[in-house]
Amino acid sequence: MTPVLRWILVVLGVIVVGVAALYIMTGLRSGDTAPPRTSVEGVDISGLSPDAAAAAVTAKYGPGARKRLKVTSDGKTIVVKPAQAGIRLDAAASVEPAFGRTWNPVTLVSHLFGATTLPLVVTVDKAALDTQMQAIADAVGQPPQNPTLVIKGGAPKLTEGQVGRELDTEATAQALVDAVLKPRAPIPATVTEVQPGISAEAAQQAAALATTAVSAPVTVKADAITATIPASDIARALSFSEGGTQFTPVLDGAILHAAIKKDLKPLETKGNDATFKIKHGAPVVVPSVVGKGVSDEDLAAAVQGVLDKPADQRTVTVGAGVREPKLTTEQAQALGIKEKISSFTQHFPYAAYRVQNIGEAARRINGTILMPGETFSMNDTIKERTEANGYTKGFVVGEGGIFDEQLGGGVSTATTTMWTAAFFAGMERVQTVAHSIYISRYKPGLEATVAWGLFDMKFKNTNPYPVLITTKMTNGSMNATFWGTKVYDKIEAETSKRRHDIPFDTVYDPSDKCLGQEGVDGFWITVDRVFYKDGAEVKREPITTHYKPAPKVICGKKPGSADSGKPKPSASASTGSSSPSAKPSSKPSSKPKPSSKPDPAPTTPPDTFAN
């Protein structure tokens, strides 16, 4: 071997040893600190430990990642806190690729001679993000509204449907995650349109059918009798239900039958449904009676078959057979209505309008049977408060807690009676609206009111047994009693102390319609409904009510104002009460007397007239 070759081999050996040594040293050093020229989105972490590197990234991007995000849609802005949405900057995960011992030569060479830029890592708590997205969806979403088709004034009235809006939760969630590390510009929510289930074309077709249906009478032949159902009665009996993608015409056979009842009299024998009467403090079944004649169902089916026919083709034939009771004796006996579940009596100061309006409501409620799973609606049961439905004008509390006159004033007493009895019967609360101001004759937190077209009082029978509701009236009280089979030993009400007192204001009313009233402070109160079974508490339901203050109203101009004088005398100036004293009529026959207080308004803002 020549000296030159030997020298070359020595040099190569040194180089190999040096490279090997450098490789080993670099491999051994990897993992403890970040390699040179390593950064995370502009943050240099070269030579830093994992904790120090994570701290540097957090210092740079942490404050921004915690800033609130804004999601916008159709003029609405929803503020989102990233942490609450489960979106967080993960600094440790961001710097993690820079650490960890490696013997990969490519990686080691890049550590020695190259620069490494790592991305920021954001972690997502899916459960928290899903919860946040649901809140956003509720805020920006709008369910589609199907068209409505009703018969009003004897003619069909079609209202167009409305396209709905639905949040694309996946796209909007990704936009939120992406925005956490960017400048805080508002994030447009991704929203898609949702079409109504019933198309405009299907609604128009149903409206055309409705127009034809109420355009002419229908002739009914039953044995030797021929009768005519007027078009106006067909219009009263006709309604449309929403079935999937179309309207389905529905006829009320009882209304059709009533229209020709006199004509069918020679063919029919009256029957009766089974009912209940209270005897010796217990419900007793009054047997049903099977009738004879044209059944409501057969009549409705026959008439429905010619609704789309012209006038000269609207003749139907029906048979006279058995008219089965809707509730038979056997069915009534099997309901398990055998004992008193609850009873409540609400007293009220006598006023003729109260006796009429509360009495009318009580009459319509009396005898109601609520099956398991059914919901009782006060508005549906006592009907709209009109003169035609037997109601008269009475006092309510209107906007701002000021007394006024409206049809049906006083039925809030019937509503309170019903809800309190339902409360102690264990009925499920579906919708109750308390009066906006507190009236001392009611149990605070245990009363309710209604307003036609605005809100209702509803409860659901979630017990496994039906309940019978009976009512009794006097000139100063209404009682509601629930009968059935007891599920709980007892149900009690535990009432908290009043809190958050709000003092009332004083206002002056110079108008001729001023009634005057004393002020009532506002407050909060909670009533717990406590269920007991087998001697132990098994359930507790809190209900919190916020009563607003009602102003003291003085009739006349405010002292010191222009042309001020003495307040006009008011029958209620000292007591805040008013009540007409004449017999029931559509209008009170005299000025209010100080013997009773008007019924107040609901707690739904803004205050609206309540019965």
When pLDDT is cut at 50, 70 and 90, the band that residue 470 belongs to is very high
CB count within 10 Å of CB 98 equals 22
Which pLDDT score, from 0 to 100, does residue 2 have?
76
Which pLDDT score, from 0 to 100, does residue 566 have?
43
Cβ pair 382, 361 in contact under 8 A: yes
When pLDDT is cut at 50, 70 and 90, the band that residue 551 belongs to is confident
| Average of per-residue pLDDT across 592-597 | 36
Top pLDDT among 599 and 13 is at: 13
Dist. CA 44–CA 156, nearest whole Å: 74
Top pLDDT among 454 and 316 is at: 316
Q: What is the pLDDT of residues 62-76, one digit of tens each?
A: 999 999 999 999 888
| Average of per-residue pLDDT across 165-182 | 92
- The overall average pLDDT reported for the chain is 84
Cβ pair 204, 158 in contact under 8 A: yes
Cβ pair 357, 387 in contact under 8 A: no
Which pLDDT score, from 0 to 100, does residue 403 have?
57
The residue assigned the tokens 């132990």 is: 536
Q: What is the pLDDT of residues 137-162, one digit of tens each?
A: 988 898 899 999 999 889 999 999 99
Top pLDDT among 139 and 109 is at: 139
Q: Which residues contact 246 (CB under 8 A, 6 or more apart)?
A: 198, 202, 205, 206
Which pLDDT score, from 0 to 100, does residue 133 have?
93
Note the maximum CA span of the chain: 141
When pLDDT is cut at 50, 70 and 90, the band that residue 402 belongs to is low
Burial pattern 473-505, b for ≥16 Cβ within 10 A else e, equals beeeebbbbbbbebebeebeeeeeebeeeeebe
Question: Can you spell out the DSSP letters for 408-462?
Answer: TTTHHHHHHHHHHHHHHHTPEEEE-B-BSS--TTSPTTS--B-BTTTB--EEE--
Looking at domain 200-333, its CATH architecture is Roll (3.10)
Distances (CA, A) of 177 to 90, 140, 167, 184: 13, 19, 16, 12
| Average of per-residue pLDDT across 161-180 | 93
Cβ pair 401, 548 in contact under 8 A: yes
| pLDDT beyond 90 at 459 | yes
Cβ pair 450, 379 in contact under 8 A: yes
| Average of per-residue pLDDT across 413-423 | 96
Which pLDDT score, from 0 to 100, does residue 575 have?
27
Q: Which residues contact 8 (CB under 8 A, 6 or more apart)?
A: none
| pLDDT beyond 60 at 588 | no
Which pLDDT score, from 0 to 100, does residue 21 have?
52
Lowest mean pLDDT among 319-333, 343-357, 373-387, 487-501: 319-333
| Average of per-residue pLDDT across 465-481 | 95
| pLDDT beyond 60 at 318 | yes
Which pLDDT score, from 0 to 100, does residue 585 have?
35
Dist. CA 556–CA 52, nearest whole Å: 77
